[in-house]
């Protein structure tokens, strides 16, 4: 349905006022006030171009032109009041006009690039949701929480990967880290996750899941590319199977003690088995009521502060462990960002599994009190 024409006589004046940025107008007014006090004629007129230039940094072309128009009117008034010669005033106003037009064009280009960047960000965000699908708070017998931060914060996507799926062979998951950054790393992560999700449903043996990922990477990766990963499964009650392919050892929390789960036999990263010939081994870990397992990428443990000290993840986990995985990973993520001063320089992923006690009824904790980020009620 078409809209009726706007016959409001005050429509354009209102739009004109709304388009004019406040700060540039204040700056112009300041120059005019100084000129009125000093009575220096056209001396301050060229400085009125500061208004359009500043308006171009935040506003659109319409706002720049409005500020330039105000500056021109005020410049003419100052020149006439000061008795300036016509040629002198014309040169000053011509300079002001050129600056205004140039700033208006620059503002239009800036706004166009901002729209393109917003579109790219929305596509990246959609790609991230498709690649790193949301993880439910509970899956199978587990409580689960995930936090992910891409080093390229503007893109909101990176080379770390994780997935957790329920299959006929129990809950299975993967946490990995692709060598490198940028779009090539994202493409490799998408390849690994796609193969994992298919193989996890098809293969009864967890080692065969890893083997299918290895074969796919061997066909598609370059000789210098690889992926470190931990692939895990819960095929039967009380037992967690893990295959560690060159990845950082997960941290097990049991009876308030944090210990790393090192593989029985180290295996090379995915994509490099043909170079070493070593096959991965299956590690069976008892996993019962109250146990928690934190899987992570090296963007967490290799994060440094201003003194070049690594983030002590095991100590942080011991401080923040509670019965709510989401509170634990939220507190760890906040502490990690504080450790690096607010900006991570590598992709970082945290995935926490918790096996609730048999008699336990999971209840979401209340919002944490100030100063107790992510802590759970005792």
Pick the CATH number of 132-354 from 3.60.40.10, 3.10.290.10, 3.40.50.10320, 3.40.50.300: 3.60.40.10
* Domain assignments of the chain as residue spans, ordered by start: 11-124, 132-354
The segment with the largest mean pLDDT, out of 272-276, 351-355, 373-377, is 351-355
Rounded (to 5) percent helix, strand, coil in the chain: 45, 20, 35
Helix-helix angle 182-202:206-220, to 10 degrees: 140
Residue 342: CA atoms inside 13 Å, Cβ hemisphere, count?
0
CA 275 to chain CA centroid, Å, is 35
Cα gap 324→77, rounded to integer Å: 69
User: Which pLDDT band holds residue 264 (cuts at 50, 70, 90)?
Assistant: confident
pLDDT for res 375: 46
pLDDT for res 319: 95
DSSP annotation of 46 reads: G
The segment with the largest mean pLDDT, out of 107-116, 177-186, 332-341, is 332-341
Q: Which residues of 220-256 are buried (b: 16+ CB within 10 A; e: fewer)?
A: ebeeebbbbbbbbbbbeeeebbbbbbbbbebbbbeee
User: Which pLDDT band holds residue 36 (cuts at 50, 70, 90)?
Assistant: confident
Q: Which residues of 7-17 are buried (b: 16+ CB within 10 A; e: fewer)?
A: eeeeeeeeeee
Structure pTM?
0.69
Of 113-117, 200-204, 210-214, 358-362, the least confident = 358-362
User: Which pLDDT band holds residue 332 (cuts at 50, 70, 90)?
Assistant: very high
Q: Which residues contact 217 (CB under 8 A, 6 or more apart)?
A: 188, 191, 192, 225, 226, 227, 270, 271
Q: Tokens in use for 254?
A: 């049991």
Instruction: Judge whether 120 and 314 are in contact, CB under 8 Å.
Output: no
User: Which pLDDT band holds residue 17 (cuts at 50, 70, 90)?
Assistant: very low
């Amino acid at each position: 349905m078409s809209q009726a024409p706007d016959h409001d006589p005050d429509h354009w004046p209102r739009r004109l006022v709304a388009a004019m940025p406040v700060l540039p107008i204040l700056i112009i007014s300041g120059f005019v006030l100084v000129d009125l006090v000093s009575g220096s004629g056209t001396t301050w007129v060229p400085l009125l171009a500061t208004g359009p230039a500043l308006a171009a940094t935040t506003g659109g072309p319409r706002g720049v032109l409005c500020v330039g128009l105000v500056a021109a009117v005020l410049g003419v008034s100052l020149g006439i009041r000061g008795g300036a010669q016509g040629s002198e005033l014309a040169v000053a106003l011509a300079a002001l006009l050129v600056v205004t037009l140039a700033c208006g064009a620059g503002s239009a280009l800036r706004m166009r690039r901002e729209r393109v960047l917003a579109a790219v960000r929305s596509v990246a965000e959609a790609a991230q949701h498709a690649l790193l699908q949301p993880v439910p708070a509970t899956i199978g017998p587990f409580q689960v929480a995930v936090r992910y931060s891409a080093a390229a914060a503007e893109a909101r996507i990176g080379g770390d990967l994780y997935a957790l799926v329920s299959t006929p062979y129990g809950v299975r998951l993967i946490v990995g880290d692709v060598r490198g950054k940028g779009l090539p790393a994202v493409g490799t992560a998408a390849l690994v996750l796609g193969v994992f999700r298919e193989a996890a449903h098809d293969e009864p043996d967890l080692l065969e899941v890893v083997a299918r990922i290895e074969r796919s990477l061997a066909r598609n990766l370059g000789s210098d590319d690889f992926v470190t990963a931990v692939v895990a499964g819960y095929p039967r009650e009380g037992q967690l199977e893990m295959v560690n392919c060159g990845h950082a050892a997960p941290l097990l929390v049991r009876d308030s003690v944090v210990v790393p789960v090192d593989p029985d036999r180290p295996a090379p990263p995915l994509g490099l088995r043909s170079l070493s010939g070593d096959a991965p081994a299956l590690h069976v870990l008892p996993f019962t009521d109250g146990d928690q397992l934190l899987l992570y990428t090296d963007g967490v443990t290799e994060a440094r502060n201003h003194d070049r000290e690594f983030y002590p993840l095991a100590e942080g986990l011991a401080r923040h462990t509670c019965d709510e995985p989401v509170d634990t990973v939220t507190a760890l993520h906040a502490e990690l960002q504080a450790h690096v001063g607010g900006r991570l320089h590598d992709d970082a992923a945290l995935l926490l599994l918790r096996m609730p006690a048999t008699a336990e009824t999971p209840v979401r904790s209340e919002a944490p009190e100030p100063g107790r980020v992510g802590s759970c009620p005792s």
